[in-house]
Every structure is written in structure tokens, then in C-alpha cells.
């Protein structure tokens, strides 16, 4: 078991527990799958890649997680604020990942841009995590 799904759950819980972020989102709008009729601002899990990162005597996995921030705002400001808040919560966080030990978690890439199919701005954050099974 790689711990990828458990990592997603821990990241989602950490984002939802951060009051400034949920206030900017207008509620608990962090989704694995975006529901129909979702609000104008939300964060979704856009991708998860998992690679074997084991050593000779220890099983481990490296995960690359992509978060997509979506807004309907015609200004970069809200997308930037949401990306800032998400990075503040996650970069270097010591999350509890069920059945695994989180070795590290860091934001390795971030971009703010206008959405390809909407007039609003959004952001993309890429995180790298390493986990070891307990």
C-alpha cells in the first residue's frame, strides 16, 4: 500500500481545518471530485503520481500531488490569496497520514494564471511528499 489516498485525505483535512482558507473559499470547498453546482471558488485534487522510493531495508513512496485552485474572479488577487493560504498550510506540514509516516511534504511548484476555458484566474500547486508504511 503506497499511502497515496491516505495522503490526499490528510491534505484535505489540513486545508479544511485552516479557517483563513475556508473563509477565502466561502466554505469547505476542497474536493477530490468537484460536485455539480460547485461554488465559484474551490480547490480540487487534480492529480497524484506515486513512485517507489524504497531502500534496501525500508519500503517508501514518493508522491507528487497537484492541487488546482479555481475562481471566477477576473483579478489575480483571489487566486493568489488562495494559493498563498494553501502553501502556508501544507509546505513543511507534519500531517498525520493513516498507516504511514510522512517523511516530508513541500510545495515544489506554483503558478497563477487565467483559466483556459473561463475568464477567471486560478492557480496550480504541485507538492512532493515521501511516505513510509508503519
Dist. CA 119–CA 14, nearest whole Å: 29
Q: 19: burial class by Cβ within 10 Å (0-12, 13-18, 19+)? A: exposed
pLDDT digits (tens, 9 = 90+) for 37-78: 887 899 999 999 999 989 889 999 999 999 999 998 888 999
Rounded to whole angstroms, the Cα distance separating 100 from 90 reads 17
* CA dist 90 → 19, 40, 67 (Å): 14, 23, 11
**pLDDT score for 24:** 94
Closest CA to 75 of 31, 27, 113, 32: 113
- pLDDT tens per residue, range 97-130: 999 999 999 999 999 998 777 778 999 999 999 9
Query: CA nearest 125: which of 65, 75, 81?
Result: 65
Amino acid at each position: 500500500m503506497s499511502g497515496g489516498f491516505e495522503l490526499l485525505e490528510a491534505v484535505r483535512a489540513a486545508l479544511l481545518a485552516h479557517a483563513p482558507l475556508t473563509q477565502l473559499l466561502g466554505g469547505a470547498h476542497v474536493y477530490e471530485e468537484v460536485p455539480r453546482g460547485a461554488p465559484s471558488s474551490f480547490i480540487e485534487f487534480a492529480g497524484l503520481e506515486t513512485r517507489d522510493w524504497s531502500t534496501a531495508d525500508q519500503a517508501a513512496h514518493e508522491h507528487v500531488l497537484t492541487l488546482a485552485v479555481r475562481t471566477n474572479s477576473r483579478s489575480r488577487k483571489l487566486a493568489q490569496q488562495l494559493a498563498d493560504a494553501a502553501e502556508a498550510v501544507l509546505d513543511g506540514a507534519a500531517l498525520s497520514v493513516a498507516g504511514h509516516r510522512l517523511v516530508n511534504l513541500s510545495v515544489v511548484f506554483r503558478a497563477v494564471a487565467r483559466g483556459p476555458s473561463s475568464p477567471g484566474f486560478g492557480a496550480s500547486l504541485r507538492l512532493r511528499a515521501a511516505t513510509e508504511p508503519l
